[in-house]
Each structure stands twice: as C-alpha cells, then as structure tokens.
C-alpha cells in the first residue's frame, strides 16, 4: 500500500507520457495477479530457505577444506533465486516491453530514491561484495567495532557471531565507509594472537622457547604455518605475544584457552612469575 | 546391408561380453546378483582367531628388509668413508651420521627393523643385545615407558659401557622414535636432547625409525630432516608382493577368489581372480601390510559346499572347530575399506595423536591433547565401540583397517599428515 502511494507520488512527478504508461500498468494489476505475486514471493522464500539449509547442512558434513567453499555459495544462490523471482514478477506486472521498462525504471528509481535509499545502498554493496569479497561466510572479521564469524550473508546485510555468542546484523553498506579487517579471507586458518604478561626479571630467551613449544604442542596448531613470538618491553613488565594458526579457525577461542593453559602450567613449573602491576599502569597494559 | 549386418553382429558380441555388467547396472531385482552370495557366512570365530594369530606372526615382508639393506649400505658407507678420508672433519658440522626410516604410521616398523638388523649383523644374530656390524656394536635403544631427555642420555651411556668398540664408534638404532616423545612441553625434551646433543656426535651412526605423521611433525617443529641427508620411505607393497606374503595362509585353507561379487565386477573370462583380488587389496590398503592383513581377514567368508544343507546347519558355523571344516569352502569377497563412523566432539584430534605416537596409554593421550582423562574418556569409549581404536593392555592404538579412512578424513580436515 505504502509502496503504491510512493509510486503514485513518484508518477505524479515524472513527465506526462511516462506517467500515463505507468498509470496504465498499475490499472492492469488484478487480484489474481496479486495472488500470483504472493505465491512467487513465497516460493522464492521457500527455495532460499531450502537451498540455504541444504548447503549449510552439507557444509558441516563434508571435509573441512570444503566447508567454507560450500557456505560461500549460499549468497550466490540467494541472489540467483531473488533475481529470477524479481524478473518473473516484473514480467507479470510490467509486461516487460522496451517502453515499459523505460517507463518503470525511471519511476521506480525515483520512488526508491526517496523511500529506500539506504536499503538499496546496502543491496548494491552486498552484490558488489559478492565479487570484491571483503568478507565471505565463515570468515572472521572485525567491522565497525564488532568481531566474530560471518554466519550469514543476506541481501541487505551480514550476520556476525561474536565470541559471546551474540549475533550482530550489519548492513553491507558499511563496505563504503568502514574499514574491514578479515583474519582468514576464505581459508580455514586464521592467525591467533595470545598475549602473556611477565616480570622484567624473566629470561626472555627461555620464555620465547617455552612459548614456541606451547604452540607446537597444542592440539589445535597448524604446524605447517609459522609460529612467531614477539617481545615488547613495557614499564610494568615484559609483554610476550604468541602468534600462530589453528587447524580450524572455528576453534579460535578454545585454541587461545589451550595455549594459555599450557603456558601457565609451564611458567608455574619453571618458576616464571607474573608482574605486579602498579595501578597507574593498568591502563597501559 | 552387409554393413548393417556386421554392425549388428558386433553389437551382439559386445552385448554378450558385457551382459554381466549390464545386468548389474539395469537389474532392479537385487536378488539376481546376490543369490550366489546368500550361502556365504562369516568366518567361524575360532577360525578367525586362528587366522588372526597366523597372520600376526607372519614375518615382516622380506622386500622391506631388502630395501633397508640396500639403503643402509649406502648410508653407512658414506659415514664410514667420510671418517676414514678426513678424520679431522669429525668436529665439523656435517657428519652424515643419521639415517632415517619412515613408514606408514600403522606399519609394524619395529618388526621390519628387527628383521633388517638381523640381516646386517655379523655372525650369529640370535642375541639382540650382542649385535654388531663390521665390528661396530649395534646398540638397540628401546624403552618400556616414554623416557625424558635425561633418561635417553643415561640409557645410551649405560649401553655404551656394556659394549664398546676399539675406536669408540658404534651404531645406535631407535626403531620407533614416536614412542620416545610426547606432544607436550616436557615430552619434547627428549627430541631437544637428541637433536642438540646426541645427533651431533660423529662417533655414532644413528638409525632412526618413525611413522609418517611423526616425521611430518618433527620436520615442522625440530627440523629433523636437516640432521639427515638420507631418508628411506618404506615402499608400498604391490598386489603381487602381498599375495606372495599371505600365500602360506591361503594355501593352508585353500581360499578361493572366484566369488560371484568378483565375477560380477569383472567380466573378462581370462582374468586371474587372485591377481585382481590382491591388486584391489593393495589399493584399498594403500600398500601397508598391517592394513592389508585386516582387510583380507574381513573379506573371508565360508560357503556351504552342499546346497541342500538347511539353514540350521549353516547357522551352526560359528560353533565349528577349524579342523572340522569339511564340506565348507572359504571364499574371498571384494576387499572394501570400512566407512568412517560419526565422530564425537573433537575426536579427530585424538585420532591424530594416535597416528603421531603409534601407541599411547590413556594418561599419555590426555597429556598429549592437553586435556584431562575425564574429558577424553567418552571419546575413547565411542571410538572403541566403533572399532576405530583398539586397546591392548594399557595401550591404545589405531585399528589398522581404519588407517586409510582416518588419513583421508584428517587430510580433508586440514591436518598435516
């Protein structure tokens, strides 16, 4: 109803010939056509749901190396079903002749320009995102202050699952204005950074050796990828940063926990102590 | 007209030749194919046990020992001649004194090494503790429990005191390196000790055996491959080699290979069924003897020779003693790998650990995974129930029949094998 009103308002603002044509098209809309449209929309929705569920189900049952590839196929399937549904609908209602397409695109463009500017902006960003791939399903990204795994790639936006198991919806148009950091870019591994805060008095070489061993012995570590230990001196102590990759980025947080557990146990066995941080420096840490 | 007639004749010939496989494709009545298999029954348990024992006690494949002998000659000669030509170079960095043997992670490498060592030993090779080669003592290093870095050096020192050569040189053999370390911070000390202190001693020639997964792991974490220019990978066994190896058991039980399943798969009349069977067996087992033995056992079925015997008699097969098998024949069906059961939790990490270490106690397994016993026991139980892992005494091992399936699964799951 609102859409028809907006369309009518838009028609009023367009040149006479085009407006007349558009009025004719609207006059041809019958109840039967509307029922047909509802059936087409429902079928498209049903197909999208079936394909998405099927692909997600399949992706969890094949070898992990195929998991992300299959999931990344979901947005394409959605786009295809939606495009087909849209073309069928337009053909039903607008009788897609050359003149009608010209008349309607101008009209719809004005209407959409007024009403759904941001929505269309997000849809266009989503379609471009499919090809530019700043993020795909299964990637671990940070966007607009939110970090997590991309679990859905919709028409308008994406859904992120955060470490606290919240699902955050973010519109695709953030691509235009925000920086996006992607940890794995479609691969199974993503670098994990774990920080260890120790006293100034510790032997850095020894701690470095221990941290290498900690990473090499964790069950989650992808051993064929590099392991790096960085050391940084702070006012309150020494910061050791262990950078390594898990076999499957899905286990990121379990991996971090495992690394911390192993390191803490070894530090305890070797008598390596933690810094006593003065309150003014807490912020720095 | 003549052309059409010749075409029809060749089509008829082709159809006759292909009739079996075509019937198999198009037949909707499954009984048509399965009828001859109906009288096949599982091996009686007593016979299966006896066969298992016989197959277990088969000496390791002689071709493996021959392969090792050839490669050993070259490796030993290189070390030996380097020392004779430039004794001053002993203190240099590169001594050419490490020879590494890599086998599939479920192959019985200690047995292969045992046969090989006896083959290269001087004189009477019965006493394992007094083995020597060209006058140099062959020091076999084995532990009942996993050692730490200190006990490795101590054990070596003790054995050195027992047997010594005139110039202090010796050959040290570690048949199964993965049983010397554990994937934990303290468990890797023995590898540090080995790579930092022991391998650099040029008076020792090291023969180190280990599984493929351990080799990959130690390459990644300790650059073990940089300590040796000479690495031998045990060759995969072909169908013919497997056939010759298992032949004594086949002859004893007069096992037949022309089962209806094989016949339906291959229509050529001139095919040697046994050759075809073992070629499939070698493929399915990835050329690993321990896997092939298990697959072979799984393919054996008893067929009732007398078709008129009733079902009751057939079902009594399980109670049959092995020496009362008259009237029955043993047939081999097509070898087939078992499928992978559904894994529970993070069980794939447990399977990787077992491939890495070959054998582990429950506590060692928990330590290598960085978990508690309470956390891993449900996984162990589930895998044992599915037959993927086996427990012998206190130690857990991967059931060899699942080795190819587990490898495929882990490779697909991004593990480095």
pLDDT in the model for residue B180: 87
Q: Indicate whether B185 and B294 sit together in one domain.
A: no
In chain B, % of residues over pLDDT 90: 27
Using the structure block, give the residue that is written with the tokens 């390594």.
Answer: A244
Residue B68 phi, psi (nearest 5): -65, -40
**What gap in Å lies between CA A208 and CA A229, rounded to an integer?**
6
pLDDT in the model for residue B120: 84
Does residue A9 lie in a domain region? yes
Does residue B197 lie in a domain region? yes
Asked if the C-beta of A208 comes within 8 angstroms of chain B's C-beta atoms, the answer is: no
Residues of B in contact with A216 (CB under 8 A): 188, 220-221
Question: Closest partner residue to B414 among A219, A247, A265, by Cβ?
Answer: A247
Q: Indicate whether A150 and A91 sit together in one domain.
A: no
Q: Indicate whether A166 and A216 sit together in one domain.
A: no
Report the pLDDT averaged over residues B381-408: 92
Looking at per-residue confidence, does B148 or B412 come out higher?
B412
Looking at per-residue confidence, does A200 or B36 come out higher?
A200
pLDDT in the model for residue B183: 93
Answer whether B361's CB lies under 8 Å from B187's CB.
no
Last residue in a domain, options B300, B332, B364: B332
- Per-residue pLDDT band at A1 (split at 50, 70, 90): very low
Report the pLDDT averaged over residues B285-306: 84
**What gap in Å lies between CA B225 and CA B216, rounded to an integer?**
9
pLDDT in the model for residue B32: 39
What is the residue range of A165's domain? 140-182
Cβ distance of A63 and B349 shorter than 8 Å: no
Neighbouring residues of B144: CB distance < 8 A, sequence distance ≥ 6: none
Report the pLDDT averaged over residues A147-152: 90
pLDDT in the model for residue B282: 92
In chain A, % of residues over pLDDT 70: 83
Answer whether B265's CB lies under 8 Å from B23's CB.
no
Q: Indicate whether A173 and A57 sit together in one domain.
A: no
pLDDT in the model for residue A245: 94
Strands, DSSP E only, in B184-246? 204-211, 230-233
pLDDT in the model for residue B40: 52
Report the pLDDT averaged over residues B300-317: 57
Q: Indicate whether B96 and B195 sit together in one domain.
A: yes
Q: Indicate whether A62 and A161 sit together in one domain.
A: no
Q: Indicate whether A238 and A174 sit together in one domain.
A: no
**What gap in Å lies between CA B278 and CA B296, rounded to an integer?**
9
Give tens-digit pLDDT for B39-96: 456 777 777 888 888 888 888 888 998 899 989 988 888 887 776 666 555 555 566 7
Answer whether B181's CB lies under 8 Å from B193's CB.
no
Residue B152, classed as helix, strand or coil, is helix
Does residue A187 lie in a domain region? no
A211 closest CA partner among A254, A242, A180: A242
Q: Write out the two tokens for B248.
A: 């004594």
pLDDT in the model for residue B33: 40
**Domain total of chain B:** 3
Q: Indicate whether A33 and A153 sit together in one domain.
A: no
**What gap in Å lies between CA B97 and CA A172, rounded to an integer?**
61
Q: Indicate whether B102 and B116 sit together in one domain.
A: yes
Looking at per-residue confidence, does B295 or A75 come out higher?
B295
pLDDT in the model for residue A279: 66
Does residue B76 lie in a domain region? yes
Strand order in the sheet with B359-361: B359-361, B395-398, B389-392
Does residue A237 lie in a domain region? yes
**Domain total of chain A:** 3
Does residue B11 lie in a domain region? no
**What gap in Å lies between CA B337 and CA B298, rounded to an integer?**
10
Q: Indicate whether B306 and B160 sit together in one domain.
A: no
Q: Write out the two tokens for B367.
A: 């330590």
The alpha carbons of chain A give a radius of gyration, in whole angstroms, of: 27
Cα→Cα distances B40→A61, B192, B255, Å? 34, 55, 13
Answer whether B140's CB lies under 8 Å from B181's CB.
no
Does residue B176 lie in a domain region? yes
* pLDDT above 70 (res B271): no
Q: Which helix (H) or strand (E) holds B20?
A: helix B2-26
Q: Indicate whether A164 and A196 sit together in one domain.
A: no
| B92 burial type by CB count under 10 A (0-12 exposed, 13-18 middle, 19+ buried) | exposed
pLDDT in the model for residue A42: 92
Q: Indicate whether A207 and A176 sit together in one domain.
A: no
pLDDT in the model for residue A250: 85
Q: Indicate whether B94 and B225 sit together in one domain.
A: yes
Q: Indicate whether B208 and B92 sit together in one domain.
A: yes
Report the pLDDT averaged over residues A123-144: 88
pLDDT in the model for residue B310: 47
Report which DSSP code applies to A1: -
B-contacting residues of A 125-144, CB under 8 Å? none
**What gap in Å lies between CA B150 and CA B26, rounded to an integer?**
68
What is the residue range of B246's domain? 30-58+238-332
Report the pLDDT averaged over residues A73-83: 85
Cβ distance of B370 and A63 shorter than 8 Å: no
* pLDDT above 70 (res A79): yes
pLDDT in the model for residue B91: 53
Cβ distance of B187 and A220 shorter than 8 Å: no
Q: Flag the least confident range among A72-81, A164-173, B126-135, B273-282.
A: B126-135
B369 closest CA partner among B399, B397, B346: B346
pLDDT in the model for residue B235: 92
Q: In whole angstroms, what separates CA B370 from the centre of its chain?
A: 28
Residue A151, classed as helix, strand or coil, is strand
Chain B residues near any Cβ of chain A (below 8 Å)? 183-188, 216-217, 220-221, 346, 349, 352-353, 368-370, 409, 411-416
**What gap in Å lies between CA B366 and CA B375, rounded to an integer?**
8
Neighbouring residues of A179: CB distance < 8 A, sequence distance ≥ 6: none
Q: Flag the least confident range among A6-20, A70-84, B389-403.
A: A6-20
Does residue B342 lie in a domain region? no
* pLDDT above 50 (res B34): no
Answer whether B169's CB lies under 8 Å from B349's CB.
no
- The partner residues of A195 in beta bridges, in order of sequence, read A241
Answer whether B79's CB lies under 8 Å from B95's CB.
yes
Q: Indicate whether B277 and B211 sit together in one domain.
A: no
Cα maximum dimension of chain A: 87
Q: Indicate whether A272 and A229 sit together in one domain.
A: yes
In chain B, % of residues over pLDDT 70: 71
* pLDDT above 80 (res A96): no
- Per-residue pLDDT band at A209 (split at 50, 70, 90): very high
Q: Flag the least confident range among B165-174, B217-226, B320-329.
A: B320-329
Report the pLDDT averaged over residues A195-201: 91
Does residue A235 lie in a domain region? yes
Neighbouring residues of A111: CB distance < 8 A, sequence distance ≥ 6: A3, A6, A7, A9, A10
Does residue B191 lie in a domain region? yes
Does residue B67 lie in a domain region? yes
Q: Indicate whether A89 and A204 sit together in one domain.
A: no
Report the pLDDT averaged over residues B314-323: 51
CATH of the domain at B146: 3.40.50.300
Interface test with B, best of A68, A208, A213 (most B CBs within 10 A): A213
- Per-residue pLDDT band at A198 (split at 50, 70, 90): very high
Last residue in a domain, options B201, B233, B265: B233
Question: Closest partner residue to A210 among B184, B185, B414, by Cβ?
Answer: B185
Q: Indicate whether B385 and B284 sit together in one domain.
A: no
Does residue B24 lie in a domain region? no
pLDDT in the model for residue A104: 67
Answer whether B106's CB lies under 8 Å from B400's CB.
yes
CATH of the domain at A157: 2.30.30.60
CATH of the domain at A246: 3.30.70.100
Q: Indicate whether A47 and A159 sit together in one domain.
A: no
| B409 burial type by CB count under 10 A (0-12 exposed, 13-18 middle, 19+ buried) | middle
Residues of A in contact with B412 (CB under 8 A): 62-66
Give tens-digit pLDDT for B185-215: 988 888 888 888 777 778 888 999 999 999 9
Does residue A212 lie in a domain region? yes
Cα→Cα distances B235→A60, B5, B63, B102, B240, Å? 36, 53, 9, 10, 14
Does residue A114 lie in a domain region? yes
Q: Indicate whether B123 and B160 sit together in one domain.
A: yes
Answer whether B213's CB lies under 8 Å from B105's CB.
yes
**What gap in Å lies between CA A14 and CA A48, rounded to an integer?**
36
Looking at per-residue confidence, does B224 or B132 come out higher?
B224
- The partner residues of B140 in beta bridges, in order of sequence, read B173
The alpha carbons of chain B give a radius of gyration, in whole angstroms, of: 26
Report which DSSP code applies to B234: P
Question: Closest partner residue to A217 among B183, B346, B415, by Cβ?
Answer: B183
Cβ distance of A63 and B413 shorter than 8 Å: yes
Residue A28, classed as helix, strand or coil, is coil
Summary mean pLDDT of chain B = 79
Report the pLDDT averaged over residues B333-342: 87
- Per-residue pLDDT band at A229 (split at 50, 70, 90): very high
Q: Indicate whether B186 and B98 sit together in one domain.
A: yes
B338 closest CA partner among B294, B279, B373, B278: B294
Does residue A48 lie in a domain region? yes
Give tens-digit pLDDT for A13-55: 555 565 666 677 667 778 888 888 899 999 999 998 888 888 8
Q: Indicate whether B99 and B224 sit together in one domain.
A: yes
Q: Indicate whether A65 and A82 sit together in one domain.
A: yes
User: Between B403-412 and B289-299, two packed helices, what is the crossing angle to 10 degrees?
Assistant: 120
Report the pLDDT averaged over residues A155-168: 89
* pLDDT above 70 (res B297): yes
- pTM of the full structure: 0.76
Helices and strands, counts by H and E, chain B? 17, 12
Q: Indicate whether B178 and B288 sit together in one domain.
A: no
């Amino acid at each position: 109803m609102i859409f028809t009103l907006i369309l009518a308002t838009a028609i009023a603002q367009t040149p006479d010939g085009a407006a007349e044509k558009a009025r004719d098209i609207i006059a041809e809309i019958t109840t039967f056509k509307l029922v047909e449209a509802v059936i087409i929309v429902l079928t498209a929705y049903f197909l999208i749901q079936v394909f998405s569920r099927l692909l997600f189900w399949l992706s969890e049952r094949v070898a992990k190396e195929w998991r992300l590839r299959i999931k990344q196929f979901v947005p394409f399937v959605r786009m295809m079903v939606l495009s087909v549904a849209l073309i069928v609908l337009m053909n039903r209602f607008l009788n897609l002749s050359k003149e009608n397409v010209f008349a309607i695109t101008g009209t719809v463009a004005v209407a959409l320009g007024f009403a759904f500017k941001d929505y269309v902006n997000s849809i266009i960003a989503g379609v471009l995102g499919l090809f530019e791939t700043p993020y795909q399903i299964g990637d671990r990204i940070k966007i607009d202050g939110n970090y997590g795994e991309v679990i859905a790639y919709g028409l308008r936006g994406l859904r992120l699952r955060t470490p606290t198991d919240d699902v955050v919806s973010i519109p695709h148009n953030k691509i235009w204005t925000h920086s996006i950091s992607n940890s794995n870019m479609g691969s199974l591994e993503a670098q994990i950074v774990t920080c260890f805060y120790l006293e100034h008095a510790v032997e850095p070489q020894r701690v470095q050796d221990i941290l290498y061993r900690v990473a090499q012995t964790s069950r989650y570590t992808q051993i064929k990828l590099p392991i790096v230990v960085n050391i940084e001196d702070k006012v309150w102590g020494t910061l050791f940063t262990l950078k390594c990759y898990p076999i499957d980025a899905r286990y990121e947080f379990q991996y971090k926990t495992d690394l911390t557990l192993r390191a803490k146990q070894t530090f305890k066995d070797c008598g390596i102590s933690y810094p006593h941080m003065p309150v003014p420096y807490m912020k720095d840490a | 007209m003549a052309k059409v007639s010749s075409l029809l004749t060749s089509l008829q010939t082709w159809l006759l030749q292909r009739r079996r496989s075509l019937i198999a494709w198009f037949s909707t009545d499954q009984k048509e194919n399965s009828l001859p298999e109906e009288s096949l029954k599982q091996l009686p348990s007593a016979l299966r046990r006896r066969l298992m024992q016989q197959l277990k006690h088969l000496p390791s494949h002689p071709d493996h020992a021959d392969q090792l002998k050839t490669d050993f000659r070259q490796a030993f000669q290189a070390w030996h001649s380097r020392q004779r030509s430039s004794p001053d170079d002993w203190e240099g960095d590169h001594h050419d004194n490490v020879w590494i043997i890599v086998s599939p992670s479920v192959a019985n490498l200690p047995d292969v090494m045992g046969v090989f060592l006896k083959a290269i030993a001087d004189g009477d090779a019965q006493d394992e503790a007094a083995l020597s080669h060209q006058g140099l003592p062959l020091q076999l290093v084995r532990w009942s429990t996993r050692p730490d870095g200190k006990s490795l050096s101590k054990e070596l020192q003790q054995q050195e005191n027992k047997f010594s050569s005139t110039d202090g040189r010796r050959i040290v053999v570690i048949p199964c390196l993965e049983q010397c370390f554990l994937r934990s911070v303290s468990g890797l000390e023995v590898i540090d000790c080995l790579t930092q202190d022991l391998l650099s001693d040029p008076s020792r020639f090291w023969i180190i055996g280990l599984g493929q997964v351990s080799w990959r792991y130690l390459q990644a974490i300790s650059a073990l491959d940089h300590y040796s220019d000479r690495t031998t990978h045990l060759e995969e066994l072909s169908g013919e080699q497997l056939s010759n190896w298992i032949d004594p058991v086949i002859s004893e039980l007069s096992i037949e290979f022309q089962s209806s399943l094989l016949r339906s798969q291959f229509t050529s009349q001139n095919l040697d069924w046994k050759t075809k069977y073992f070629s499939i067996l070698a493929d399915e087992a990835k050329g690993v003897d321990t896997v092939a033995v298990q697959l072979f056992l799984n393919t054996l079925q008893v067929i009732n020779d007398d078709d008129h015997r009733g079902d009751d008699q057939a079902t009594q097969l399980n109670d049959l003693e092995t020496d009362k098998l008259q009237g029955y024949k043993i047939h081999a069906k097509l070898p087939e790998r078992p499928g992978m059961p559904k894994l529970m939790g993070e069980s794939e990490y447990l399977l990787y650990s077992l491939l890495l270490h070959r054998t582990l106690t429950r506590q060692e397994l928990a330590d290598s995974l960085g978990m508690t016993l309470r956390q891993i026991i449900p996984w162990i139980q589930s895998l044992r129930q599915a037959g993927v892992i086996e427990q012998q005494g206190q130690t857990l091992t991967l059931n060899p029949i699942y080795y190819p399936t587990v490898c495929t699964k882990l490779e697909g799951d991004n593990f480095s094998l």
